[in-house]
Structure 1
């Protein structure tokens, strides 16, 4: 008598194990990154010492743009530019600072919009706004 629903082992499993044996554990745990990446590209900064202060990052995150119907993107950009204009680092363009911080100012629909932008598609502040 044959019992239904018995799962037969597949020989493919052995092949998969052999292929995996050539890779290190670190390689196996890495998520594929091809086709993924940030939309914003930060060009090289010439400053030897540069740090975005925690207070500024918290200020940006406290004033997020959500992309709701009643949210005004122009107001968000204006407020964001006002916050980042307070920074002045030698050999660091203000546009680079704005590009670094901008993703932290987005939430909900606005964040989804940003994440759908093609990788490496935003090179300047003007590309973004």
Structure 2
């Protein structure tokens, strides 16, 4: 039996012979390519398309704030809306409640704008300028959410306004209610 002290002889002794050591070659093609080829050339620098300063880049964008209503060019010199006319329009604003009649609002608005006649200024331009002042609440939000430049004429505005606040489905429901009406005798 062997003890630990004798364990150094666990391996058989080989004859001493002149050993030849061959060099170890490990092929790493990705490393060889990296060192043998010329270093890659950096792509040419292209000028920056946006030459704004950092302060300008951090400013809030100002695009996309156009109004939905496009007011045509006015040929008159020194034209401005009178403060009293704006007050008249704002005194009877359309709020967009269920019980409000958008047709009545348009009729009232037409009466007010009919009173103002200015040479070289079409009445439709005056109506387009004044109409936003006649809206409040959900109506104003509706007009602000319309696509910029989507309302070009007074007829466009009336059509979109009526379709939004008195849609064809509401007309159909009211018509059905009227035709199905029956008087009950108690």
TM-score (structure 1 length as normaliser): 0.77
Q: State the alpha-carbon separation in 2 of the partners of residues 72 and 83 from structure 1.
A: 17
Query: 3-state DSSP class of the match of 1:97?
Result: helix
Match of 1:106 among 97, 119, 135: 135
Query: What count of residue pairs does the alignment treat as equivalent?
Result: 107
Match of 1:92 in 2: 121
Pick aligned residue for 1:78 from 107, 130, 141: 107
Distance in 2 between residues matched to 1:84 and 1:28, nearest whole Å = 44
Cα RMSD (Å) of the superposition? 1.8
Q: How far does residue 33 in structure 1 lie from its aligned partner after superposition?
A: 2.6
State which of 42, 47, 51 in structure 1 corresponds to 2:76.
47
In 2, distance between residues paired with 1:126 and 1:42? Answer: 13
Task: Give unmatched runs, 5+ long, in structure 2.
Answer: 1-52, 159-186
Q: Which residue of 2 aligns with 1:32?
A: 61
Q: 1:56 aligns with which of 55, 60, 85?
A: 85
Displacement, 1:68? Answer: 0.5
Partners of 1:66 and 1:95 in 2: how far apart?
22
Residue in structure 2 matched with residue 10 of structure 1 by the alignment? none
Cα distance, 1:20 vs. partner?
1.5
Larger Rg, first or second structure (1 or 2) = 2
Which is bigger in relative contact order (C-alpha 8 A, separation at least 6)? Answer: 1
Deviation at 1:28, TM superposition (A): 5.8
List alignment gaps of at least 5 residues for structure 1.
1-18
Q: CA deviation at 1:41?
A: 0.5
